[in-house]
Chain A
Amino acid sequence: MLRTIAGWALTVLGLLCALLGLSMAVVLGPDGRRTTGPHTVDVDSSVLVTAPRVITWGDVKVDVLVEVPAKKPVFIGLGNTVDVENLVANVQRTEVTKFETPWKPTLKAHDGEQPTVRGAPTALDWWIADSAGLGGASISTTLPDEPTSIAVVAIGASSLSGLKVTLAYGIAGGFFKGLGLAFVGAGLFLGGRILRRGESPLEEGDLRGNDEDDEEVVYVYVDDDGVEHVLTEDEIDDAQFEVIVEDEDEDEDEDEDEPEPEPEPRYVWIDDDGVEHEMTQAELDELGDDVEIVDDEQEGDRS
């Protein structure tokens, strides 16, 4: 009973895993990510930054492309929130205070004493990923397991007006991970099936490498004259023969019995009076060539 319940549980779990994995593979596609954009973002300032705790995911692959018109120089970087917050403190900026996928940002303008960040963002060593370019810049990275923020900075005196953002997010190798999950589901499904049937997944025969499914059973009927007739299982049932199981291994064992050792030759010397004297091999060796050895059995054969 318990085994049946466990079997069903495994089967259902396997089915769910398989469906989830297949869905994941289908949704993410072979490149393992979803892409959205380009989206126009209404920014007047020269800094756009995600607020603390807007990015809450870790181990998610993200690709962000920012584009500005007229080939203006622009920078994009992903850094620890502590670093980014310190960089943009007291800077006029637009903050992304909330974000919902696939693309629903909530923006808020922040006043600041400085029009832009101090120094060149490209010179800072703490960016986890960063890039700068004329008219556009992009980063492609996996979000680490620490609080992070993204900052987009217009380099020089320009602003970020006309900013367009393209976002792609997903799981690195997500397609294959989906397939892997589906594979796990299939395994659990099969495991559950085995459990439900009450069969042990590994029996003694399996461990020995003998598969009982592979064993060929031959039914043989020996008539009164000692002639063997091969019968099918149905013929056995119809005739209601008594089946005597004869283990093949036993026959093999008999055949494989060690041969009896050859008997040691027995030497007999017949003196002139016709009296037989038994001799050992050593005594015979002492006599050397003076004695002619005659094989009794061979002589018998000839006669």
Chain B
Amino acid sequence: MTRRLAVVVSAAALVVGLASGCAVPNRRAADGPILKAAATQAQVTDIYANYREVRNAAVELLDPKPLSTVETGAVLAVDTGAFAVSQKLRRAGQEDTGPIDVARVETPRFGKYPLWLFAVVRDSNRKVQQLQIFERTSAVDPWLLVATPEALTSTKIPGIRHDGSGHAMTVKPTSGTGMAMSAQEAADAYARVLTDASALTDAGVAEDAFIRQMREIAASNAALDGVTFAQTWAAEKVEHVLRTSDGGALAFITLLRKDEYVVPLDRKITWPAGSPQQALLEDGIQGTKGNLNYYHQIVVHIPGGTAKPRTIGQFGGVVQGEIGLDQAVDDDSLKPTPTPTRPTPTPTTK
């Protein structure tokens, strides 16, 4: 009897002890890294709920001002332009009231601000998936959408590599270790190839759908009778790069495109009615020089190894139009105006 009691007591003691011993105090290494995951799942939910609420309010009011509390950079410039065009044309936008389908969220860990996260949002109506980057530049600033390139739902997004804690790993934009080139080099290569088609052989990037589409637009503009057309591209500083599971990188690149038209007095170029270009340059261009500036955001997959970078998603729009000026394109001088382009309307000459 005593022995049986002892066995029962021992077993019960171990069970109770183990159960009560869960979550015992523990001390971290004094020299351990100080890191923070960009956001929790609950915070991501709040970020998207707030984004939609503000965006819908802006759509309802046909006023882009509230967008500055949830967007910044090229995204804000393009969206603000779209709202301005809608205002001009008195065309109400579409409120987004369906469920937010955030298919994937990756939250890297950072030792200091800015923090950013990557999310894939499915838009089943348009059959696209948006590859979005939300960024928080300081502890007192809100989360802002800084990149939102789009890809077809059928496009396979490369897997992201995770660290030991299960968070996405990032890559320094200037690091090309294990890849054909760094993200910044890829951005510069795209700008070079888009400006000068002959640079493709040396640039080290693949001639993908984005490059072909931009070349077609440039070719149709250059074919305008009697008009001198020039197009230049510049890459902005790359800031958001994720490590992919193949040892490569997924880079978010912003490109600035400048289309310049020199039109003689006996010619006039105009854009289709209702297009953002027409909203910007209502009277067209005649007997002078005119510029249209665009922002394009692309997501480039730089595979591990020696394979060439390739664009898997894009987003963009015209953000500024000017006539008779010859000023250099400067980020600070960009006063956003019209609309997401895709495709870019082709001007006609008379």
Contacts and interface: CB of A to CB of B under 8 A. Distances in A.
A100 B38 CA distance: 31
A211 B46 CA distance: 63
Interface string A179-214: 111011111101101100001011000100001011
A201 B36 contact: no
**For chain B, which range describes its interface: under 10, 10 to 19, 20 to 34, or 35 or more residues?**
35 or more
Interface string B99-137: 000000000001111010000000000000000000000
Given A59-B25, A124-B140, A187-B17, A52 B34 contact: yes
Interface stretch (A66-74, A78-86, A103-111, A160-168): A78-86
Nearest to A202: B7
Contacts of B23: 59, 172
B90 interface: no
B53 to A, nearest CB: 15
Interface string B3-39: 1101101111110111111011111101010111000
Contact of A147 (B6, B7, B12, B28): B28
Interface string A37-78: 000000000000000110011111000000000000000000
Nearest to A192: B10
Contacts of A177: 20-21, 24
A126 B139 contact: yes
Interface centre among B7, B10, B11, B30 (most CB of A within 10 A): B10
B347 to A, nearest CB: 47
A125 B115 CA distance: 14
Nearest to A21: B17
A60 to B, nearest CB: 5
A201 B110 CA distance: 54
B26 A180 contact: no
B328 interface: no
Nearest to B36: A82
A146 interface: yes
A187 B36 CA distance: 42
A256 interface: no
Contacts of A145: 26, 28
Residue among B9, B14, B34 with most chain A CB within 10 A: B34
Contacts, number: 121
A188 B24 CA distance: 20
A146 B108 CA distance: 15
B138 interface: yes
Nearest to A180: B20
Contacts of B9: 186-187, 190
B21 A53 contact: no
Contact of B14 (A82, A187, A199): A187
A171 interface: yes
A119 interface: yes
A86 B30 contact: no
Of residues A58, A82, A176, A183, which shows the largest number of chain B Cβ atoms within 10 Å of its Cβ? Answer: A82
B46 to A, nearest CB: 7
Contact of A211 (B4, B30, B138): B4
B213 interface: no
A16 interface: no
Contacts of A84: 139
Contact of B28 (A56, A85, A173, A188): A56
Contacts of B32: 147
Contact of A57 (B12, B26, B43, B138): B26
Given A57-B25, A125-B46, A177-B21, A82 B16 contact: no
Contact of B4 (A85, A186, A206): A206
Contacts of B35: 82, 146-147
Contacts of B43: 125-126
A199 to B, nearest CB: 6
A229 interface: no
A117 B21 CA distance: 40
Contacts of B140: 87, 117-119, 124
26 contacts: A52-B34, A56-B28, A56-B30, A57-B26, A58-B26, A80-B36, A81-B34, A84-B139, A86-B112, A86-B113, A119-B140, A125-B43, A125-B46, A146-B35, A147-B34, A147-B36, A177-B24, A180-B19, A180-B20, A180-B21, A184-B13, A186-B13, A190-B10, A199-B3, A202-B7, A214-B1
Top 7 nearest A-B pairs by Cβ distance?
A187-B13, A184-B17, A180-B20, A187-B10, A82-B36, A86-B139, A190-B6
Interface of A: 17, 52-53, 56-60, 80-87, 117-119, 124-126, 145-147, 171-173, 176-177, 179-181, 183-188, 190-191, 193-194, 199, 201-202, 206, 211, 213-214
Given A125-B43, A147-B32, A172-B23, 20 more contacts: A53-B30, A53-B34, A59-B24, A82-B110, A82-B113, A83-B36, A177-B24, A181-B17, A183-B12, A183-B16, A184-B13, A184-B14, A187-B13, A187-B17, A190-B9, A190-B10, A201-B10, A211-B4, A213-B3, A214-B1
